[in-house]
Amino acid sequence: MSSADWEEVKRLAADFQRAQLTSASQRLTERNCIEIVNRLIELKLLDVVYTSDGKEYITPQQLVKEIQDELYVHGGRLSLVTLASNLNVSLSVVEARVADLLKQDRRIHNVLGQLITATFIDTMCEDLNEKLVQDGMVSLSELSKTSDLPGEFLQDQIEKRLGKVIHGKVDRDDPNLIYTETFVRRNTARIRGILSAITKPTPINQILLKFGSNVPEKLFFGIVDKLITTKRIEGIVSGGGSSRSAYYIPSAHTKAQVQWIEGFMNGNGYVDLDAAARLGISDPKSFITKRFPNQHLLFLKTCVLGERLFKQAKEQVEESLSSPGWVDITSILPASVTEQDLQILMDEILAGVKNTTVFDSIVVNKSLLEELKKQFKPLMPDKAAKDISSGKYIQLVNDTRAAEKKLKLAELGEDSTRSGGKKDDRRKKAASGKAGGGTQGRETKTKATKKKYLAGKKDDWSDSEDDNPPPSITLSNSASSKASSRAAPTANKNKVQQQLEFQSVNEVRYAIAKNESLSEAPLELLESIAQIISVGLQDEYQVVLKEAFDKFMSEKCGRKSQEEVLEKLFKMTTMFQLYVEGLNSFEGDVKNQLEKFLLKSFGQEIVIAATTFLLMEAGLDENSQVGDLPEGKVKQSMLALGKSADIETFTGLLQTVVPPVKKSAKSTFNPRNILLESRDSLMKELGVAETSDPALFLHIASLILFSLTSEALLQASGKFVPQIISSLSGKLTKEEHAQMKECQEQVVSLIKLKNGPGAEEAKEHLTTTILPSIKNIITNRTK
């Protein structure tokens, strides 16, 4: 057993005693401590704060120090919440302390509940600078996103450090962008290159795409503006400041456009708007107007005509209108001018030119048309005469009448179910007939038939086309039909042809084609002219036809025009005077009897003729009577005329009724001529009666002999024959008178036989022997 061990035990025992004897630290219980501290705080002797678990107290100074330490440990950025939990104190305490701290230390910032030291920002800015150097551009908004700091604060802080830590500059327009000079210069160079290379308008969008998202729009526009203002590149940016709609238009392009427009205008005298649009001119009209401010330009739909070409065209048109009488405008104009434009252009050109008719693109002088029409006029009467004599016209008139009657009947019998349109049509027709027709129904008919004629003509046209289609006509069908439709807007094919055609359109066309001035005209023009002319010709022809027909009818049916009636009246009055003279050869009872017979027979004829004349003159129709005449002397005389008992009153009244004969016409109504005329007619009758009726022959022969001997006329019936023959006794030779006497006896005996036995022989004897002898007397006398 070593003493050392015991020594050690002793020492341990001593240690133990010592350990037991050292006074125990007079510890207070937690409860006590808390009470004491509370008391102290109450007494304001101690300024401490609790930790959040309540187990510790901490002095504000310590807290501030700890905050600073924490901040440092966390690299200069620490949120208050983290700080509070790290320091084990409540957030409000920390906030209060931080507020103090911020007052003391300006290098610390409280941003959105985070403490940030200047060191932290410095570090961040250094990073930023590195990035800037690398990328050339930094967006603060991006930075704000990654660093989770508000943009304004960042901006503020970074601005302070610009030029010191960060070597770049802030974009003027967008303070969120920071970029370096190098970056700007590099991009300026690239943009300059691109824009210089562009030769046609290019959307900015596309250019920006080339840069990807590296160059912000604003910077791009800024650079472009600068380049343009410094004239480094030539062009303009149009279409607003946004990249969506903006275009860069290089001036090279504009120059090219201008050159082209000017070149084309100078070379050709016009500019095609389509072509201009193809060059990229969005509003060619205003563009061209600006380019040629001094010229009077004519804007059409598809092109713009220069002054020179317009004038040239106008001159040419005027010239052509005077010399060949027609011109095709298309031949003067550029090929690209459309039909619509032609219309506009022609309106413009023809503004000062009169007397023209326009067919599509061809202008024809009206005088030429007239001239062509004239060509046909001489042909009309012949054709009319032919048509009438062949009975076609009468047939047509009758047909028309029948058709109209039918139509009227149909109209009357029609109920209201008929479609309104047709009715309207008919009403219009009726109305127009009334309006233009005047007193006579015929006018109405011709009016109505005019349309029908056109319809028929059209049918004809197509027919002839079917029968014998000339190739060129088929080609130009549209043109010709256009012309015809212009002339006749409505064409009713169902109507019966109610007008006689003068010449078919084809015929007219061939006829006019022979005209010198139209020798070079295209077929279409000929057709169009033919269409137009033939309508006029047809109308004219109808007039001619009607005149001819009227004349024909008056000749045939005694229908008389007023003048004819008057003429006849004059003739009759003259004859009447001759008759009156003839009466003077008789005396006494015979004279009276003859007078009465004259008044009854020829006198009544004159009365009728005079009445007709007066009615015509008064404008009344055939069916009206003398009573319808306007009141006055004439009417009274007329009424008295019919009742007059003796020759004197009759002639007296007749003078008031019949107007005096015009001097120029007097020779026509010379009594001598009338005498010869009426004798001739008697002679003709004599020839007829010679073989058939011996009594009539004797009657006429006596009348002729009377007129031959007394130079007057006699109106007498058969019963006066013996008296006449006896009165002739003094004037004829004895032989002649005896022959007449014998003839008279023979005739009387013949009449007495009354077709009994021997009558035939007696008649045979009379006609073969006696009558020729009397005829001889007359012929001798006539010579």
Chain residues that interact with another protein, rule: CB under 8 A: 1, 5-6, 8-9, 12-13, 15-17, 19-20, 22, 24-27, 29
Which residue lies nearer to another protein by CB, 31 or 514? 31
> Least CB distance from residue 30 to another protein, whole Å?
11
> Least CB distance from residue 9 to another protein, whole Å?
5
DSSP letter, residue 115 = E
Which residue lies nearer to another protein by CB, 12 or 209? 12
> Least CB distance from residue 4 to another protein, whole Å?
10
Q: Tell me the three state secondary structure of residue 362.
A: strand
Which residue lies nearer to another protein by CB, 4 or 43? 4
For residue 680, CA distances in Å to 563, 683, 692, 775 come to: 24, 5, 19, 14
Which residue lies nearer to another protein by CB, 1 or 557? 1
> Least CB distance from residue 37 to another protein, whole Å?
18
| Angle, alpha carbons 379-357-527 (nearest 5°) | 55
Which residue lies nearer to another protein by CB, 1 or 335? 1
> Least CB distance from residue 55 to another protein, whole Å?
17
Which residue lies nearer to another protein by CB, 23 or 134? 23
- Position 685: which residue type? E
Helix runs in 2-150, H state only: 3-21, 30-42, 60-73, 80-87, 91-104, 118-135, 140-147
Which residue lies nearer to another protein by CB, 29 or 494? 29
> Least CB distance from residue 53 to another protein, whole Å?
21
CA dist 119 and 126 (Å) reads: 10
> Least CB distance from residue 28 to another protein, whole Å?
8
> Least CB distance from residue 77 to another protein, whole Å?
42
> Least CB distance from residue 35 to another protein, whole Å?
16
Strand spans (E) along 159-204: 169-170, 177-179, 202-203
Which two tokens mark 445? 């008919």
Contact 646, 595 (CB under 8 A): yes
From the CB of residue 664, how many other CB atoms can be counted at a distance below 10 Å? 7
DSSP letter, residue 271 = E
Query: Over the Cα atoms of the chain, what is R_g?
Result: 65
**Dihedral angle sign, alpha carbons of residues 128, 134, 139, 145:** negative
Going edge to edge, which strands form the sheet with 137-139?
137-139, 177-179, 169-170
From the CB of residue 153, how many other CB atoms can be counted at a distance below 10 Å? 16
Which residue lies nearer to another protein by CB, 6 or 510? 6
> Least CB distance from residue 82 to another protein, whole Å?
34
Which residue lies nearer to another protein by CB, 5 or 622? 5
Q: How far apart are the first and last CA of the chain?
A: 226
From the CB of residue 522, how many other CB atoms can be counted at a distance below 10 Å? 16
Which residue lies nearer to another protein by CB, 25 or 623? 25
Phi, psi torsion values for 114, nearest 5 degrees: -125, 140
Helix, strand, coil share of the chain (percent; to 5): 70, 5, 25
